[in-house]
């Protein structure tokens, strides 16, 4: 019996990057359907949660991201450019956000084709691995889409012709995440139960095994 789960994901979250490859591998190895549900980064949807209050919060996230990637053996560098246009010194977030809106819409379009996991994994690598600069230019995104079994030009056409509907789907994803009992990413929701963070993957797998998760 195929089990189903939803994975809430942000293209700006380093922890989403650290989780997506493992969830993709799990879905390939086990009789499991993981539906990727893209959400806007917290800096876009609710910046007050992360960028006000204690100034140690963003510094800690940066420190923890690097050491967690090192522990997992993943290449990591803060994106160049950052998908969110923001002054990291003043924390001011620009009104116009062309990069993150483009990549989130592309990710949701990929999810419509049941290729969300693959697309998010391949794109996250070029954003966060440090293996390329200017991930948004040249053939980087096209090549990532191709590795995911998708055509970037087709996705781009859809993001331009159906932007409002894609944005509505992304907003609905956020509502569904909050209804499931969390607000952050990455969060896997299985049978209504949220598993938040890249360090809860084994816990989610343990729960699914008790519900009959089996290898393909």
Give the tokens for residue 2.
């195929």
Task: Report in angstroms the alpha-carbon separations of 38 from 62, 72, 169, 188.
Answer: 22, 23, 9, 12
Q: Edge to edge, what strands does the sheet with 193-196 contain?
A: 32-38, 3-9, 187-190, 193-196
In this prediction, residue 86 carries a pLDDT of 82
Per-residue pLDDT tens, the chain, 216 aa: give them. 899 999 999 999 999 999 999 999 999 999 999 999 999 998 888 766 655 556 777 788 899 999 999 999 999 999 999 999 887 777 788 888 999 999 999 999 999 999 999 999 999 999 999 999 999 999 999 999 999 999 999 999 999 999 999 999 999 999 999 999 999 999 999 999 999 999 999 999 999 999 999 999
CA distance 89 to 131: 25
- 3-state class (DSSP) for residue 187: strand
Adjacent-strand bridge partners of 32: 3
pTM for the whole structure: 0.94
Q: Are strands 32-38 and 3-9 parallel, antiparallel or unpaired?
A: parallel
Give the tokens for residue 170.
């992304």
φ/ψ of 189, rounded to 5, equals -115, 120
Domains of the chain: 3-210 (3.40.30.10)
In this prediction, residue 56 carries a pLDDT of 76
């Amino acid at each position: 019996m195929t089990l189903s789960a939803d994975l809430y994901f942000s293209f700006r979250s380093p922890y989403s990057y650290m989780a997506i490859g493992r969830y993709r591998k799990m879905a390939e190895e086990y009789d499991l359907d993981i539906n990727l549900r893209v959400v806007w980064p917290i800096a876009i949807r609710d910046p007050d949660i992360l960028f006000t209050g204690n100034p140690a919060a963003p510094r800690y996230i940066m420190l923890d991201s690097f050491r967690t990637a090192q522990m997992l053996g993943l290449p990591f560098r803060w994106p160049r450019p950052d998908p969110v246009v923001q002054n990291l010194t003043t924390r001011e977030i620009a009104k116009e956000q062309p990069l993150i809106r483009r990549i989130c819409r592309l990710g949701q379009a990929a999810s419509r084709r049941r290729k969300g996991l693959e697309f998010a994994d391949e794109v996250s690598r070029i954003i966060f691995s440090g293996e390329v600069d200017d991930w948004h230019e040249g053939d980087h995104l096209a090549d990532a889409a191709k590795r995911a079994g998708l055509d970037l030009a087709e996705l781009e056409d859809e993001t331009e012709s159906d932007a409002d509907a894609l944005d509505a789907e992304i907003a609905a994803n956020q509502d569904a995440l909050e209804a499931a009992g969390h607000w952050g990413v990455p969060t896997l929701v299985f049978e209504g139960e949220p598993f938040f963070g890249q360090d809860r993957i084994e816990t989610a797998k343990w729960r699914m095994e008790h519900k009959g998760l089996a290898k393909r």
